[in-house]
Amino acid sequence: MRLTNVAQMSLPRGTLQSFATRASERPGKRLPISFDQRRHVGEGTRPGSWMAVAFRLPVGATLDDVAAAWMAVIARHGTLRSAFSYNDAGELALHEVDIEGGEWLRHPVGDDELTRDALRDVFDAACSPFERPSHRVCVVIPDAPDPLDPRPTAVIGSDHAHVDMWSLLVLVRDMVTRLSGHPGAEPVPAASFAEHSDVLERMPPAPADVRQRWNDILAIEDGAMPAFPLPLGDLSCPRREVVEVRDVLSAEETRVFEARATDRGVRMTALALSVLAETTARVSGAPLRAVFPVHSRNEPRWHDSVGWFITNSVIQFAATDPIASASAVKDALALGSYPLAPIFAPYGGMPAGPGMFAISWLDTRRLPPVEGALGIQYVSAVIETDGVMIWFIVNDDGLHLRCRYPDTPEARANVGGWLDMIEAGLRDVV
């Protein structure tokens, strides 16, 4: 399982086709919009608002099979049957839509063009916030099949408003189940993301002490979310992104790292963050402070659902030992367990300024299991950015880092050097 972006993904040269589904023109029931959906879609139509997952198709699967399986998946997950629009009053709205079938389209790949670049163009156009629907499944049939694995590759893309990384694995699992000859009778509807958004809307407001903690956190950066503690250069406008993917620990080394964490009475997350805190303090003299996304699948009914089940928190701590790190993780989880819209309302929404720094931890071993040997790749879009985000990815192959930052000389030097030190620090633990 590989985490990459569309400019770096592994995709053979071949015939690129996509199954373009059609949504009804007449909107159905109005649905609640989550805080992150509103923030994301409110930025408007733009390329690169999507995320995707690539995987190998089962042997013998035809395009008709893929289309039928995808229609069954759409029938199972409500968020794939919804679309955003602005109403007559200029307000953002989300409605149910009926998906009325689709057709296969062929997308030419030029002689001097890479298949992944043509795929990027398809998703930039089809998986935009206001497309109806804003998702697409593509299939690449290689011109020269790999002798070791000649199977075609499928790629499912969706605007981020409807999926998170967990959701992408749910989609793969559901597709492969149908394509492998286990279709069942009719797809059983999963709990919808709209239900989840409704539950959050009806939650009581955060207590006064939580609101005060948020105010204190934002006051440190003059009303903004945490920023990367080293210079990033001129961020007067977003810059082309740099994406680094580093394979830090092997599977065996990751098991050793996990054992080291257990010996210290903490989880892997806390031990890794303590390395970040120590590195950050050494190079900047500042404590570790970062946006810390946490998932909100806090009930079993959401585990098989597709949607953006992520909320944001902040992690911060000055001490660099694993116990302090574990305590900070616990505090961040508590801080992110309340609806954010009322908390950020006085700030006009989440105050994300230039240089915003975010850390994400994803242990894919805890995600929905899928059949092995699928060659899964998590694929992000190519964007411009003015912030720094680092992902820790744990899977059966080991521990990996993925980092996105703006392409400026200062960011390349400072973020790149910081990553070198983090990588060395993680290895030193082993």
% the chain with pLDDT above 90: 80
Q: Same structural domain for residues 178 and 216?
A: no
Return d(Cα 328, Cα 269) in angstroms, integer.
11
Which of 18-22, 139-143, 190-194, 394-398 is least confident?
394-398
Asked whether the predicted pLDDT for residue 313 surpasses 90, the reply is yes
Give the pLDDT band of residue 3 (cuts 50, 70, 90).
Answer: confident
Give the pLDDT band of residue 188 (cuts 50, 70, 90).
Answer: confident
Q: Work out the average pLDDT over 338-360.
A: 92
% the chain with pLDDT above 70: 98
CATH of the domain at 375: 3.30.559.30
Q: Decide which of 135, 163, 198 is a domain's last residue.
A: 198
Return d(Cα 108, Cα 105) in angstroms, integer.
10
Report the domain count for the chain.
2
pTM of this structure: 0.93
Q: Same structural domain for residues 281 and 190?
A: no
Q: Work out the average pLDDT over 270-295.
A: 95
Q: Same structural domain for residues 316 and 184?
A: no
Question: What pLDDT was estimated at residue 367?
Answer: 75
Q: Same structural domain for residues 190 and 282?
A: no
Q: Mean pLDDT across the chain, nearest whole number?
A: 93
Asked whether the predicted pLDDT for residue 116 surpasses 60, the reply is yes
Question: What pLDDT was estimated at residue 182?
Answer: 64
Asked whether the predicted pLDDT for residue 285 surpasses 70, the reply is yes
Asked whether the predicted pLDDT for residue 183 surpasses 60, the reply is no
Residue 423 structural domain: 207-429
Q: Which of 90, 76, 84 is nearest to 34 (CA)?
A: 84
Contact indicator for 123, 381 with CB cutoff of 8 Å: yes
Question: What pLDDT was estimated at residue 213?
Answer: 94
Give the pLDDT band of residue 397 (cuts 50, 70, 90).
Answer: confident
Q: Same structural domain for residues 236 and 165?
A: no
Q: Same structural domain for residues 271 and 413?
A: yes
Dihedral of the alpha carbons of 361, 365, 367, 370, in degrees to the nearest 10? 140
Q: Same structural domain for residues 368 and 230?
A: yes
- DSSP per position, 211-270: HHHHHHHHHHTTSS--B-SS-----SS-EEEEEEEEEEEEHHHHHHHHHHHHHTTS-HHH
> Which strands make up the sheet holding 50-56, listed edge to edge?
2-5, 377-380, 50-56, 153-159, 135-142, 14-23, 99-107
Question: What pLDDT was estimated at residue 6?
Answer: 94
Q: Same structural domain for residues 164 and 304?
A: no
Q: Decide which of 178, 198, 218 is a domain's last residue.
A: 198
Q: Same structural domain for residues 97 and 215?
A: no
Question: What pLDDT was estimated at residue 2?
Answer: 78
Q: Same structural domain for residues 245 and 333?
A: yes
Asked whether the predicted pLDDT for residue 323 surpasses 80, the reply is yes
Q: Same structural domain for residues 258 and 126?
A: no
Q: Decide which of 152, 172, 198 is a domain's last residue.
A: 198
Question: What pLDDT was estimated at residue 205?
Answer: 85
Q: Work out the average pLDDT over 221-225.
A: 92
Q: Same structural domain for residues 166 and 264?
A: no
